[in-house]
Amino acid sequence: MNELAERLARRYDAEGWHEQRKDLASISIPALRVRDVLAWLRDEEGYKHLSFITAIDNIERGVFTLTYTVRNHDTKHSLMVHADIIRENPVVDSVHLLWEQAWTYQRELKEWFGIDCPGSPRKDEEFVLEGWDQLPMMRRDFDSLAYSNATYAERPGRVTHDPAAYMKAQLYPEADQ
Amino acid sequence: MIADIFVRIGYAAISLFILTNYGLLLIGSMARISAKVQGRVGQPVWQPYIDIIKSIAKRNSIGHGVMFYLGPVFRLAGGIGTYMFIPAVFGSVLFRNFSDSGDLLLVMYFIFFGQLGMALGASEGGHPYSALGVSRGLAQMTAFEVPFALSVIAVVIQYGTLDITAIVAAQQGGFLNWTLFTNPLAVLAAMIAFLGMSGHNPFSVVLAPQEIPIGPPTEYHSNLLGMLQTNRAVFNGAKLVLYMNLFFGGATNIVIMVIKTFLIYFINIFVGQAFPRFRTDQSIRFFLGVPTVVGIISVIIAVL
Amino acid sequence: MSSKKIEMAPLANEGLPLEERALFCDVPPREYEPARGVIEDFYNWARSQSLWILGFGTGCGAIELRPLMTSRFDMYRFGIQPRATPRQSSVFVIGGYASVKTLKRIVRSYEQMMGPKFVVALGSCTINGGMYWDSYNTIKRIDQYIPVDTYITGCMPRPEALLAGFQELKKIIRAGRAEGQNLYARNFEWYKENQKKVIKDWNMPDYNW
């Protein structure tokens, strides 16, 4: 498989080959070459199946890390292709022409992270949420707790225990003395 | 003359009342027997009564126009009409209903009248599942009508009359005179049609409560649902009595009627607990296959 | 059955497109007075003995409703059975967490049920949010949006707990205290305000008949 890493590095400046398992590896590529890399993987290397697309909010580095997982069913090997795009302007090429089902994932990216894939069908329609008017909720700068407290009425009297300490006090009260 | 008619109406009302209660208890006890087969305790025998009271006790209801209200009325009229022209107990004044005013063809018409009225009413409800249920029901009905009609034709040819009382009279004097033994093929075809008619398991896709579309009564509620539930009891009872009269020698007193109809209905449970549900297209193919052929053969035998 | 007429302004149905507004009802729900004395007691007994559950599993807790049908738990012996349509069912079991998107459907289904109607809220999530206490799209108290008769705690409650909850509901109905429908009609504006606060894209009639 390292031959593949070398070829990817030579052709597309890929770096950081990481062997997760025998049948799963990951590699990082520049975001501008996403479509080229995936097309090449699909047509030349036999990674014919797009398993899924997702994104990771690396807020510390100021980037979204896109993850395209493709699979080669002949060699039974999956490859995760990472690509960083800057958070301020999250735009990436659409891959729906390579795999038609990609538009669903890209619609999801649009709603959950605000990542735009120009040209992807129905990308601006609602995906899971209805009437969402806040920051895309999977971004880490969206404060879920604050939003929940401000929006949803709470029943008074809710307390939280540390499970270990609480069960210890319940079951072994003598241990504290 | 007038007094005579009123007495008969009074008798018919009593007979209908008894049949309704019997039908409700029959539904309840069959549900309980099914539960036992499945290893459950099951609902109380009187659960159908409670359900009807509950439906009537609902505080509000909505309508979808005149036809919507008329749907259950037609259905109930179909059930009562079917029963009214069948002699429930042979030779009994109380249970003879209006059997001498109509014949077998009228009864057969009434059996299908309710379903057609229901189709009009349920479609008025506007719910897509109602229309779906009605189309399934009508398709299945059209299919099981074929073997049923063929076996009725065979019986009519055999006895040379359309009068149900005369057919029962011809079967008196020992169980070997029953149609069951004199024309077994017609009975076979009719009994298979009966499975479809009562909507138990192999053919329950029309009204299966656990299916997403509950069938024609999807939009019906409150009093209207109460009417439909009552009709279910009346209609079941009427069909059982009709089958008993045509094929199983009728009944000379009410105890024999109860025993015979209970056993006829029990065939449903027997088959229903053993076989899974057919899809509509499967059940149509089934009815138009072997049962129809058996029906045709029975007619041919009766003619010869 | 007599009924009290309450003067209320017709509903605007502003969430609907103009051409559709006339298709839906604009009359708010009204309160229904119970029948008198023994009759109402008898009716309440029948209602409690014939609980038809709306077959709408709103959350993960709905998985606990399925075992009730099986031979082991057998809810039919208590007169409980599932029903596929809101028109005929009398009990709405809120199965655990309700996201905003589901709440919309819950409100719609609840309003379509014929009264008297009862609500059993199942699981911790319906009571105080449970494990979804900080979620961005899960409501924390179902009783802010529809009236609730019984709560069943647990995450998840076992089917036995559900049966116990239904027995409790029966007692409440027998005692004539299960008047959720009237409560909803009386506080209709408050409920609507709460509902519209969380359901941002209100694209359905204000009251669904």
CB C99 within 8 A of CB C145: no
Residue C7 falls inside a structural domain: no
pLDDT at position A72? 95
Q: Token digits for B231?
A: 């009709």
Contact check, Cβ <8 Å, C76/B42: yes
> How large is the ipTM?
0.89
Q: Token digits for B270?
A: 């027997």
pLDDT at position C3? 46
Contact check, Cβ <8 Å, C136/A148: yes
Q: What are phi and psi of C11, to 5 degrees?
A: -75, 145
Contact check, Cβ <8 Å, C101/A152: no
State yes or no: chains A and C have 3 or more CB pairs below 8 A. Answer: yes
Estimate the crossing angle of helix B184-198 against helix B222-247, to 10 degrees.
170
Rounded to whole angstroms, how far apart are CA atoms C121 and C115? Answer: 18
Count Cα atoms within 13 angstroms, Cβ side, for C9: 5
Range of the domain at C181: 52-198
Kind of pairing, strands C80-83 and C150-152?
unpaired
Of B38, B43, B217, the CB nearest to C71: B38
Rounded to whole angstroms, how far apart are CA atoms A12 and A6? Answer: 10
pLDDT at position A77? 94
pLDDT at position B155? 92
CB A70 within 8 A of CB A101: no
Rounded to whole angstroms, how far apart are CA atoms C131 and C134? Answer: 8
Q: Token digits for A144?
A: 């879920």
Between A177 and C123, the more confident residue is C123
CA B126 to chain centre: 27
pLDDT at position B175? 84
Indicate if the pLDDT at residue A12 is higher than 90. yes
Binding partners of C (≥3 Cβ pairs within 8 A): A, B
Of B28, A131, B287, which Cα lies nearest the Cα of C77?
B28
Contact check, Cβ <8 Å, B59/C115: yes
C-chain residues near B33 (CB < 8 A): none
CB B143 within 8 A of CB B283: yes
**Which residue does chain C place closest to B62, by CA atoms?**
C209
Indicate if the pLDDT at residue A41 is higher than 50. yes
Range of the domain at B184: 2-303
Polymer length of chain B: 304
Whether A130 and chain C come into contact, CB under 8 Å, resolves to yes
Contact check, Cβ <8 Å, C87/B218: yes
Shortest distance between the Cα of C130 and any Cα of chain B, in A, equals 30
CB B223 within 8 A of CB B55: yes
Whole-Å CA distances, B279 to A139, B136, B276, B284: 48, 9, 10, 9
Q: Is the peptide bond before C156 cis (omega within 30 degrees of 0)?
A: yes
CATH superfamily of A2-153: NADH:ubiquinone oxidoreductase Nqo5 subunit (3.30.460.80)
CB C108 within 8 A of CB B234: no
Whether A143 and chain C come into contact, CB under 8 Å, resolves to no
Binding partners of B (≥3 Cβ pairs within 8 A): C
Of A130, A134, A142, the CB nearest to C201: A130
Structural element, H or E, at residue A69: strand A63-72
CB burial of B250-266 (b: ≥16 within 10 Å; e: otherwise) equals bbeebebbeebbeebbe
Of B35, B53, B214, the CB nearest to C84: B214
Please tell me the least confidently modeled range out of A24-28, A53-57, B208-212, C15-19. B208-212
Count Cα atoms within 13 angstroms, Cβ side, for C71: 7
- Domains held by chain C: number: 1
Instruction: Quickly list H helices, chain C.
Output: 18-21, 37-49, 66-69, 100-112, 124-128, 159-174, 180-186, 188-198
CB burial of A103-125 (b: ≥16 within 10 Å; e: otherwise) equals bbbbbbbbbbbebbbeebeebee
pLDDT at position C7? 56
Rounded to whole angstroms, how far apart are CA atoms B295 and B156? Answer: 13
Whether A134 and chain C come into contact, CB under 8 Å, resolves to yes
Of B31, B44, B57, the CB nearest to C46: B57
Whether B204 and chain C come into contact, CB under 8 Å, resolves to no
**Which residue does chain C place closest to A151, by CA atoms?**
C198
Q: Rg (Cα) of chain A, in Å, rounded?
A: 22
Amino acid at B187: V
Contact check, Cβ <8 Å, C32/B50: no
Amino acid at A3: E
- Domains held by chain B: number: 1
pLDDT at position B277? 87
pLDDT at position A1? 59
- pLDDT interval class at A174 (50, 70, 90): confident
pLDDT at position C107? 93
Shortest distance between the Cα of C81 and any Cα of chain A, in A, equals 32
Q: What is the mean pLDDT of each run of 10 residues along chain C (209 residues)?
A: 54 83 84 89 94 86 87 91 88 90 92 91 89 90 93 90 94 92 93 92 85
Shortest distance between the Cα of C185 and any Cα of chain A, in A, equals 21
Residue C75 falls inside a structural domain: yes
Contact check, Cβ <8 Å, C201/A151: no
Residue C30 falls inside a structural domain: no
Query: Could you tell me which residues come within 8 angstroms of residue A116 by beta carbon, excluding any fewer than 6 positions away?
Result: A90, A91, A92, A110, A123
**Domain spans, chain A:** 2-153
Contact check, Cβ <8 Å, C135/A133: no
Question: For C34-81, what is each residue's pLDDT tens digit?
Answer: 888 899 999 999 999 999 998 788 888 888 888 888 899 999 999 998
C-chain residues near A152 (CB < 8 A): 129, 138-141, 198
CB B172 within 8 A of CB B249: yes
Query: pLDDT 10s per residue in chain B (304 long)?
Result: 888 889 989 999 999 999 999 999 999 999 999 899 989 998 999 999 999 999 999 988 888 888 888 888 988 999 998 899 898 888 888 888 887 777 888 888 888 888 888 888 887 877 888 888 888 888 888 899 999 999 999 999 999 888 888 898 889 888 888 988 988 999 999 999 999 888 888 888 877 765 656 777 888 888 888 998 999 899 999 999 999 999 998 888 889 999 999 999 999 888 988 888 888 889 999 999 999 999 999 999 988 8
pLDDT at position C27? 85
Whole-Å CA distances, B5 to B2, B11, B86, C147: 5, 10, 17, 55
% of chain A at pLDDT higher than 90: 75
Rounded to whole angstroms, how far apart are CA atoms B161 and C13? Answer: 64
pLDDT at position B102? 74
Q: What is the CATH number of the domain that holds C120?
A: 3.40.50.12280
Shortest distance between the Cα of B177 and any Cα of chain C, in A, equals 43
Indicate if the pLDDT at residue A25 is higher than 60. yes
Q: Which residue is listed with tokens 């506080």?
A: C187
**Which residue does chain C place closest to B219, by CA atoms?**
C87
- Lay out the sheet containing C51-54: strands in order across: C80-83, C51-54, C91-95, C118-122, C150-152
Contact check, Cβ <8 Å, C200/A131: yes
